[in-house]
């Protein structure tokens, strides 16, 4: 069966489009909030879907590499998910039960605990939250503050944890004047391509860990003993940036030595997405708290917090929500977790993702508009840049073209020339570094400073997204300036579909680069022919 074909299915939504698609889109624009995001860049009206194929009301078919912002681990309408949902419906079980115990909930909890890091599973408690990941983040922050009696929080540049007040305060784009943000201390996240210390590789990760440790031990550092540290093992909305395994282990050591609970936000990285069942499994780290949502509900709304039993000190009702007893989501989630585990889909994601990264990296060679290709498993990012638009360089630092790819095991990439550039408006942590200078008064690793990366190219990324859509491929944008093409295909993607995705993406990249012109300057987002949408998975 061709990759863009759906099996025979009854189509009752729009038997003949007859202009219905445009009418639906017009009514959406008139009636829905200005905060809508995906609908702006993806003017399609899905009416049916199977696996990673989506059919619009106009009859066009698309390969979906958005997957509900990563919520559809098995793709659309997988048979095991549909069977689980039908079984609950046919049983006449209640569909919403608040936090009462049910056989469906018990089965989901059994399956969830079977997948957790063993050390955590053996002493874990689970809190069922409201149905969105952001509510689970709020619960996790409330939990560690209650358990420790402290208020402060350690979070990271580039982070995204949700859109409610506390989760947004912990995110990299939080308003500086927000009340909730006042207690958050921001730490540098290892970002090899745009290393905040200008060195990248293993040394850049070491400096990021050293910064965190020294800041916590400095009585004048401005970071009083915090209630917890929250991080993403792979930053998704931040631009698909894998945390180096060694750095993540160092964060575990630093927090454990200071009795600071470590919170791993696995909302997007969980359930096999990165090539391991949970992204922390790559490093062997066992966090104190795990925040889980998206794929754990099998595509239906579900969110939980799993944590060490000694943190379970809050009183009844300390965190609640009407829709935390979604039986359909629990049944779909248990079926999804079991199917991923029993069929080794995490390992499959590692294999397929590695093959996709390898081909994209070969394609990027000689195309300076592709600054970096990185990812882990089936969580892939392609960062686009404007190499001809000028650089923010220091003394003796010359501009360069495309840099090497980031390595999630935080080894130096071949050639050791990963570029760096501080985001516009940000102060480079290197410039404000508290580290001691080396003999002679030079900054640490001054002799290893890397060349500055070209500016981000959000208009080019938006054009690529539109070219992909014209070719029947749905992709997401992300990163600091919306300049990263993000791929989140389902774990069930076939070899044939993998090649089709890569063919369409590389063709769209070449078409957009040609249109932009090799010597044209990157347009600012407001002047771009395809204005980039606001990014974010809106948990």
* Banded model confidence at residue 196, pLDDT cuts 50, 70, 90: very high
Q: Which two tokens stand for residue 480?
A: 């600091």
Q: Rounded to two decimals, what is the model's pTM?
A: 0.84
Q: Percentage of the chain surpassing pLDDT 70? A: 80
When mean pLDDT is compared across 49-53, 151-155, 275-279, 451-455, the lowest value belongs to 451-455
CA 82 to chain centre: 26
Q: Please state, rounded to an integer, the average pLDDT across all residues of the chain.
A: 85
What are 424-452's pLDDT values in tens digits? 333 333 333 333 333 333 334 434 567 78
When mean pLDDT is compared across 11-15, 305-309, 432-436, 474-478, the lowest value belongs to 432-436
DSSP letter at 269? T
CA 161 to chain centre: 9
Say if residue 23's pLDDT is above 60: yes
Give which of 411, 332, 340, 419 is closest to 378, Cα–Cα: 340
d(CA 493, CA 298): 16
What backbone torsions phi and psi does residue 246 show, to the nearest 5 degrees? -65, -40
Question: Between residues 272 and 480, which one has the greater pLDDT?
Answer: 272
The pLDDT of residue 6 is 45
Q: Percentage of the chain surpassing pLDDT 90? A: 75
The pLDDT of residue 452 is 85
What are 496-529's pLDDT values in tens digits? 999 999 999 999 999 999 998 744 444 434 333 3
Give which of 378, 360, 338, 333 is closest to 476, Cα–Cα: 378
* Banded model confidence at residue 396, pLDDT cuts 50, 70, 90: very low
* Banded model confidence at residue 60, pLDDT cuts 50, 70, 90: very high
Return the number of other C-beta atoms located less than 10 Å from residue 59's C-beta: 12
DSSP letter at 273? T
The dihedral of CA 336, 340, 346, 348: what is its sign?
negative
The pLDDT of residue 405 is 36
The pLDDT of residue 421 is 34
- For the residues 360-377, what does the mean pLDDT come to? 97
Question: Between residues 148 and 418, which one has the greater pLDDT?
Answer: 148
The pLDDT of residue 517 is 74
Instruction: Name residues whose C-beta falls within 8 Å of residue 462's C-beta, 6 or more positions apart in sequence.
Output: 41, 477, 482, 525, 528, 529, 530, 531, 532, 533
d(CA 312, CA 289): 11
d(CA 47, CA 334): 26
Long-range contact set of residues 113-117: C-beta below 8 Å, sequence gap at least 24:
114/337, 114/341, 115/277, 115/278, 115/337, 115/341, 116/278, 116/290, 116/306, 117/278, 117/280, 117/281, 117/285, 117/286, 117/287
The pLDDT of residue 176 is 54
The pLDDT of residue 518 is 46
Burial class (CB in 10 A: 0-12, 13-18, 19+), 309: exposed
The pLDDT of residue 18 is 62
CB 487 within 8 A of CB 506: no
- For the residues 227-232, what does the mean pLDDT come to? 98
């Amino acid at each position: 069966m061709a990759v863009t074909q759906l099996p025979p299915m009854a189509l009752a939504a729009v038997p003949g489009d007859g202009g219905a698609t445009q009418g639906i889109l017009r009514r959406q624009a008139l009636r829905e909030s200005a905060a809508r995001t995906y609908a702006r860049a993806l003017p399609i009206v899905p009416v049916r879907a199977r696996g990673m194929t989506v059919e619009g009301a106009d009859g066009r078919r698309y390969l979906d590499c958005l997957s509900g912002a990563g919520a559809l681990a098995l793709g659309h309408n997988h048979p095991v998910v549909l069977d689980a949902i039908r079984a609950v419906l046919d049983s006449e079980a209640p569909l919403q039960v608040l936090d009462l115990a049910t056989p469906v909930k018990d089965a989901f909890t059994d399956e969830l605990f079977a997948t957790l890091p063993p050390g955590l599973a053996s002493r874990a408690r689970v809190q069922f939250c409201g149905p969105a990941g952001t509510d689970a983040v709020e619960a996790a922050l409330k939990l560690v503050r209650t358990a420790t009696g402290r208020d402060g929080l350690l979070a990271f540049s580039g982070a995204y944890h949700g859109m409610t007040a506390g989760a947004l305060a912990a995110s990299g784009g939080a308003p500086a004047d927000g009340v909730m943000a006042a207690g958050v201390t921001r730490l540098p996240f290892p970002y090899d391509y745009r290393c905040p210390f200008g060195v990248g590789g293993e040394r850049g990760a070491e400096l990021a860990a050293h910064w965190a440790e020294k800041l916590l031990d400095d009585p004048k550092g401005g970071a009083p003993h915090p209630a917890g540290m929250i991080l993403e093992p792979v930053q998704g909305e931040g631009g698909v940036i894998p945390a180096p395994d060694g750095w993540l282990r160092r964060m575990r050591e630093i927090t454990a030595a200071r009795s600071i609970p470590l919170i791993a936000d696995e909302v997007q990285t969980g359930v096999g997405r990165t090539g391991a069942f949970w992204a922390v499994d790559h490093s062997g780290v066992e966090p104190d708290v795990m925040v889980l949502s998206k794929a754990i509900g099998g595509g239906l709304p579900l969110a939980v917090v799993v944590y060490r039993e000694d943190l379970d000190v809050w009183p009844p009702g300390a965190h609640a929500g009407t829709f935390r007893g979604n039986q359909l989501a629990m049944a779909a989630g248990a079926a999804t977790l079991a199917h991923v585990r029993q069929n080794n889909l995490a390992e499959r994601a590692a294999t397929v993702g590695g093959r996709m990264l390898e081909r994209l990296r070969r394609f990027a060679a000689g195309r300076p508009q592709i600054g970096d290709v990185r990812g882990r498993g089936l969580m892939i990012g392609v960062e686009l840049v404007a190499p001809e638009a000028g650089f923010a360089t220091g003394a003796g630092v010359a501009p360069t073209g495309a840099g090497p790819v980031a390595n999630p095991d935080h080894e130096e990439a071949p050639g050791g020339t990963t570029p760096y550039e501080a985001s516009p408006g940000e102060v480079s942590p290197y410039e404000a570094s508290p580290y001691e200078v080396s003999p002679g008064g030079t900054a640490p690793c001054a002799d290893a400073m890397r060349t500055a990366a070209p500016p981000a190219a959000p208009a080019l990324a938006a054009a690529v997204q539109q070219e992909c859509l014209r070719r029947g491929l749905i992709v997401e944008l992300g990163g600091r300036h919306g300049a990263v093409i993000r791929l989140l295909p389902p774990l069930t993607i076939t070899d044939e579909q993998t090649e089709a995705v890569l063919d369409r993406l590389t063709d769209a990249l070449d078409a957009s680069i040609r249109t932009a012109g090799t010597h044209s300057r990157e347009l600012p987002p407001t002047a771009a022919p395809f204005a980039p949408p606001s990014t974010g998975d809106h948990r």
